[in-house]
């Protein structure tokens, strides 16, 4: 159906990525090279970390400063995580720091909500106003009336959790669509999360993931290319071609949101054709017999109807995966955006187990661990989070649990779903949240149901925005707190690859603000929680966290390129998912792993892979994975599909932007200036649409005005767009786009129907709907 070579040629896609117009040429240095590259006139090279994706993802850089101005960035060759590589965002950092869109001083709203009238106040005044409000509400409505929103795990996430725990609120508002969903379904099926073994597998399935763009400039693309070079067969499962699928041997173009149906059909083929590893199933799996019966209804022909993938290709991929010497599946964030997400992930986990790939080199079982959550991996530093203080009373007070209360706290701590927190303001069920603090997140573009979110922000008692630049919803805020970029801060430290490195301040803060970490410390002190917030001292905080290593922050600073933790007697650790241990051949112990629930019940009550899940069954959920339609789809709502024949979904990340950030950075915006809808040339021709035309995309819930990019590498019945568009770019004369109808905010087009748009167990909000497209 598609000539991949000519498609790639036409798109100019290469392994090296897109050429970047105004950016300085990419460079990577050792410390000595960086010092030599720093030319006279007061230019200096400062070793530190990049902070453009979040605010910290552990890519080591040299930041060059001339006459007190941050001028450019190079990669740090010595850094074990990125080994000198940096992405376009990392290189564009100076333009972000000096952007006219920066917030410079704290603001207090003086006009009506949404009007955008503010008065400048000091940092201390802002902290005082917030503290006064929180104290008053805690007394009147209880501590649970406070919620904080977190779209993704950030380096300050544990400080948010700490503040909430000390305050007494369980309402940490996790996105409901990111990482924890995979962590949950894998943990309750396999006892932990398998990490794909790119080095050892002869077959690699990249499923709902974009290894070249969707993670930091670290191992993703490197591992992929190395696997390709050594001859691994690569299968890409996703609705549209991206650089990874362009290089893959097989592209499986499924309809958005139908991952569960595909995995169930693959299981059907494997079980019917007896391609299972009988001895692994016998020894390590619980409930296989029940699955064998249950799976009969999910034939490849049924799968073809739902997923749009030919039955023959479903059979082919299932056979390749089951008969490989060792096949790995790298399951990405794409599978977490559908009401069937939990069952999609469980079905994939079961594929790994019943084929025995979990027990083969390259199958991921050697990296099966529960090490998600706070950085530090093997406990090398003290945790900021105070999980030991959770009580059943706190769990019971969750306003809109991301996972059912019985499964809380999960790996990051207790969590309500981001969207449900905002929804509680409108429904007042089970009670209304009174204050929302939103650090580094923009609810009107970050979560679904934009119109309803705006209604909630209008009704909310007190809204605090904490960010570096203007945000999409700051006009609804009562207080706006600007924060320092990581280039204006000397904290925190980073753990990576078995060593620890301090962050260095590159320039002094450009306005009257502090870092986001200092925000939590200052607010803690103002609330009377000084004992738990190091009495407001960042140095005391860092020294306390470092105490298990017998190190102080000054000692860490003595090693500007990082200090080995082995040398300090500490265990090597690593931030982020999957740093936990485990291993193939050690299944008896992994399958006994205790859950993070307060009762510490094991994830797997039978001590075996939970093909048939009695834990879920006991709580009223499907014991076996099932297919569930998205709220709107060609197979689930065929009548609606007559009016809206195309399926819409979105890309979560791009090479240029982190979520809804950074459209204000000219270097990046030049590369990706407009919101472009990927539409197949046949679908466009049928509607008289040409490349670059402005078009209207309309769903049952809203519409956007964007440009068309004729894209042969997408299913003809599907259209996709990058999410997060609203921000203008002053330097390029590009204005802000509307957040609601007529803008380019894809979240405005999705359903938030409480009965259909969420996975019943793990929240996972749908990012699929039906649309029609026409010329504007």
CB closer to ligand SF4, 65 vs 327: 65
Region from 11-19, 83-91, 279-287, 643-651 binding ligand SF4, contact rule CB under 6 A: 83-91
CB neighbour class for 90 (10 Å; exposed up to 12, middle 13-18, buried from 19) = buried
In whole angstroms, give the CA distance from residue 374 to residue 390: 16
Region from 84-92, 415-423, 482-490, 554-562 binding ligand SF4, contact rule CB under 6 A: 84-92
CB 721 within 8 A of CB 675: yes
Is residue 421 a contact point for ligand SF4 (CB under 6 A)? Answer: no
Cα angle: 609, vertex 613, 614; to 5 degrees: 120
Is residue 489 a contact point for ligand SF4 (CB under 6 A)? Answer: no
Q: Closest approach of Cβ 314 to ligand SF4, in Å?
A: 34
User: Which member of 46, 65, 76, 87 binds ligand SF4 (CB under 6 A)?
Assistant: 87
Q: Closest approach of Cβ 576 to ligand SF4, in Å?
A: 12
CB 749 within 8 A of CB 767: no
Q: Closest approach of Cβ 217 to ligand SF4, in Å?
A: 4
**DSSP secondary structure string, 472-531?**
TTGGG-SEEEEB--GGG----EEEETTEEEE----S--SSS-B-HHHHHHHHHHHTT-GG
Q: Closest approach of Cβ 504 to ligand SF4, in Å?
A: 15
Q: Closest approach of Cβ 737 to ligand SF4, in Å?
A: 23
Is residue 767 a contact point for ligand SF4 (CB under 6 A)? Answer: no
CB closer to ligand SF4, 494 vs 698: 494
Tokens describing residue 611: 């093909």
What residue spans of 297-449 are helical by DSSP H?
300-307, 311-323, 341-354, 392-396, 418-427, 443-446
Count the site residues for ligand SF4 by CB under 6 A. 12
Is residue 84 a contact point for ligand SF4 (CB under 6 A)? Answer: no
Q: Closest approach of Cβ 486 to ligand SF4, in Å?
A: 10
Q: Closest approach of Cβ 101 to ligand SF4, in Å?
A: 18
In whole angstroms, give the CA distance from residue 650 to residue 734: 22
Region from 86-94, 219-227, 489-497, 579-587 binding ligand SF4, contact rule CB under 6 A: 86-94
CB closer to ligand SF4, 87 vs 695: 87
CB 742 within 8 A of CB 312: no
Q: Closest approach of Cβ 638 to ligand SF4, in Å?
A: 42
User: Which member of 20, 63, 70, 89 binds ligand SF4 (CB under 6 A)?
Assistant: 89
CB closer to ligand SF4, 173 vs 575: 575
Q: Which sign does the torsion angle of CA 260, 266, 268, 270 carry?
A: negative
How large is the angle between the packed helices 418-427 and 450-459, nearest 10 degrees?
60
Q: What x-and-dash track marks residues 39-68 binding ligand SF4 by CB under 6 A? A: -----------x-xx---x-x---------
Q: Closest approach of Cβ 160 to ligand SF4, in Å?
A: 20
Is residue 248 a contact point for ligand SF4 (CB under 6 A)? Answer: no
Quickly tell me which residue has 């299972």 as its tokens. Answer: 276
CB closer to ligand SF4, 210 vs 355: 210
Binding to ligand SF4 (CB under 6 A) within 187-216 occurs at: 216
The residues that bridge with 714 in the sheet, in sequence order, are 240
CB closer to ligand SF4, 85 vs 399: 85
Helix (H, G, I), strand (E, B) or coil at 146: strand
CB neighbour class for 430 (10 Å; exposed up to 12, middle 13-18, buried from 19) = exposed
The helix or strand, by DSSP H or E, that contains position 450, with its residue range, turns out to be: helix 450-459
Quickly tell me which residue has 């925190």 as its tokens. Answer: 492
Is residue 521 a contact point for ligand SF4 (CB under 6 A)? Answer: no
Q: Which sign does the torsion angle of CA 257, 258, 260, 263 carry?
A: negative
In whole angstroms, give the CA distance from residue 557 to residue 493: 9
CB 201 within 8 A of CB 233: no
CB closer to ligand SF4, 155 vs 748: 155
CB closer to ligand SF4, 399 vs 516: 516
CB closer to ligand SF4, 217 vs 538: 217
Q: Closest approach of Cβ 97 to ligand SF4, in Å?
A: 13
Q: Which of 466, 411, 338, 433 is nearest to 153 (CA)?
A: 411
Is residue 252 a contact point for ligand SF4 (CB under 6 A)? Answer: no
**C-alpha distances in Å from residue 570, one per residue of 31, 494, 495, 549:** 25, 14, 11, 6
User: Which member of 65, 134, 217, 502 binds ligand SF4 (CB under 6 A)?
Assistant: 217
Residue nearest to ligand SF4 (CB): 90
Tokens describing residue 491: 């904290």
Task: Compute how many other C-beta atoms are within 10 angstroms of the C-beta atom of residue 230.
Answer: 10
Is residue 440 a contact point for ligand SF4 (CB under 6 A)? Answer: no
Q: Closest approach of Cβ 57 to ligand SF4, in Å?
A: 4
Residue 481: φ, ψ to 5°: -110, 115
Q: Closest approach of Cβ 714 to ligand SF4, in Å?
A: 26
CB closer to ligand SF4, 89 vs 628: 89
Is residue 90 a contact point for ligand SF4 (CB under 6 A)? Answer: yes
CB closer to ligand SF4, 64 vs 410: 64
CB closer to ligand SF4, 215 vs 636: 215
Footprint of ligand SF4 (CB under 6 A): 50, 52-53, 57, 59, 82, 86-87, 89-90, 216-217
């Amino acid at each position: 159906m598609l000539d991949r070579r000519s498609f790639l040629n036409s798109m100019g896609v290469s392994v090296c990525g897109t050429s970047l117009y105004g950016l300085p040429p990419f460079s990577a240095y050792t410390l000595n090279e960086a010092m030599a590259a720093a030319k006279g006139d007061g230019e200096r090279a400062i070793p530190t970390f990049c902070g453009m994706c979040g605010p910290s993802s552990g890519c080591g850089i040299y930041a060059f400063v001339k006459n007190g101005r941050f001028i450019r960035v190079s990669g740090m060759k010595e850094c074990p995580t990125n080994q000198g590589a940096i992405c376009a965002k990392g290189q564009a950092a100076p333009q972000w720091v000096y952007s006219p869109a920066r917030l410079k001083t704290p603001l207090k709203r003086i006009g009506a909500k949404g009007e955008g009238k503010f008065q400048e106040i000091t940092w201390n005044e802002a902290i005082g106003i917030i503290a006064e409000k929180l104290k008053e509400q805690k007394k009147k409505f209880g501590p649970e009336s406070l919620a904080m929103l977190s779209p993704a795990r950030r380096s300050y996430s544990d400080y948010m959790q700490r503040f909430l725990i000390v305050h007494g609120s369980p309402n940490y508002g996790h996105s409901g669509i990111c990482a924890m969903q995979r962590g949950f379904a894998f943990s309750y099926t396999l006892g932990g999360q398998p990490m794909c073994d790119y080095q050892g597998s002869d077959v690699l399935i990249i499923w709902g993931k974009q290894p070249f763009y969707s993670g930091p400039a670290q191992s993703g693309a490197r591992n992929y290319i190395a696997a390709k070079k050594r001859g691994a067969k690569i299968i890409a499962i996703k609705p549209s071609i991206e650089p990874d699928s362009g290089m893959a041997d097989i592209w499986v173009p499924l309809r958005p949101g139908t991952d569960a149906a595909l995995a169930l059909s693959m299981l059907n083929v494997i079980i019917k054709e007896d391609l299972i590893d009988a001895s692994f199933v016998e020894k390590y799996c619980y409930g296989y017999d029940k699955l064998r019966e249950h799976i009969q209804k999910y034939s490849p022909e049924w799968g073809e109807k739902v997923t749009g993938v030919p039955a023959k290709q479903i059979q082919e991929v299932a056979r390749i995966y089951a008969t490989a010497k060792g096949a790995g599946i790298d399951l990405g964030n794409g599978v977490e955006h559908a009401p069937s997400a939990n069952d999609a992930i469980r079905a994939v986990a079961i594929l790994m187990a019943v084929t025995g790939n979990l027990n083969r080199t390259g199958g991921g079982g050697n990296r099966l661990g529960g090490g998600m959550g706070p950085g530090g991996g093997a406990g090398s530093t003290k945790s900021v989070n105070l999980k030991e203080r959770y009580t059943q009373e706190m769990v019971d007070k969750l306003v809109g649990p991301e996972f059912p209360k019985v499964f809380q706290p999960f790996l990051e701590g207790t969590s309500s779903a981001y969207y449900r927190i905002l929804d509680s303001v409108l429904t007042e069920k089970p009670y209304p949240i009174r204050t929302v603090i939103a650090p580094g997140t923009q609810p009107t573009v970050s979560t679904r149901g934009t119109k309803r979110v705006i209604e909630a922000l209008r009704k909310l008692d007190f809204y605090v925005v904490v960010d570096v630049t203007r945000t999409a919803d700051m006009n609804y805020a009562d207080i706006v707190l600007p924060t320092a970029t990581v280039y204006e801060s000397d904290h925190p430290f980073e753990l990576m690859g078995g060593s620890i490195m301090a962050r260095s301040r590159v320039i002094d803060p450009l306005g009257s603000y502090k870092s986001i970490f200092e925000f939590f410390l200052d607010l803690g002190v103002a609330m009377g929680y000084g004992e738990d917030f190091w009495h407001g001292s960042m140095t005391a905080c860092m020294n306390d966290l470092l105490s298990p290593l017998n190190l102080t922050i000054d000692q860490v600073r003595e090693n500007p390129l990082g200090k080995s933790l082995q040398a300090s007697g500490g265990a090597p650790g690593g931030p982020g998912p999957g740093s936990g241990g485990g291993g193939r051949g050690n299944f008896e112990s992994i399958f006994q792993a205790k859950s993070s629930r307060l009762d510490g019940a094991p994830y797997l009550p039978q001590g075996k892979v939970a093909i048939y899940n009695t834990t879920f069954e006991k709580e009223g959920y499907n014991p076996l994975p099932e297919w569930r339609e998205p709220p709107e789809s060609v197979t689930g709502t065929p009548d609606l599909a007559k009016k809206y024949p195309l399926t819409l979904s979105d890309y979560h990340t791009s090479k240029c932007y982190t979520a809804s950030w950074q459209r204000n950075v000219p270097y990046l915006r030049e590369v990706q200036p407009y919101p472009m809808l990927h539409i197949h040339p046949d679908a466009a021709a049928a509607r008289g649409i040409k490349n670059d035309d402005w078009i209207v995309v309309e769903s049952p819930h809203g519409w956007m005005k964007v440009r068309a990019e004729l894209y042969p590498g997408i299913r003809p019945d599907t259209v996709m767009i990058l999410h997060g568009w609203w921000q203008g770019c002053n330097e390029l004369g590009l204005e802000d786009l509307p957040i609601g109808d007529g803008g380019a905010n894809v979240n405005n087009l999705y359903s938030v129907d409480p009965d259909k748009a969420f996975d019943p167990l793990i929240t996972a909000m749908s990012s699929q709907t039906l649309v029609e497209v026409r010329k504007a």
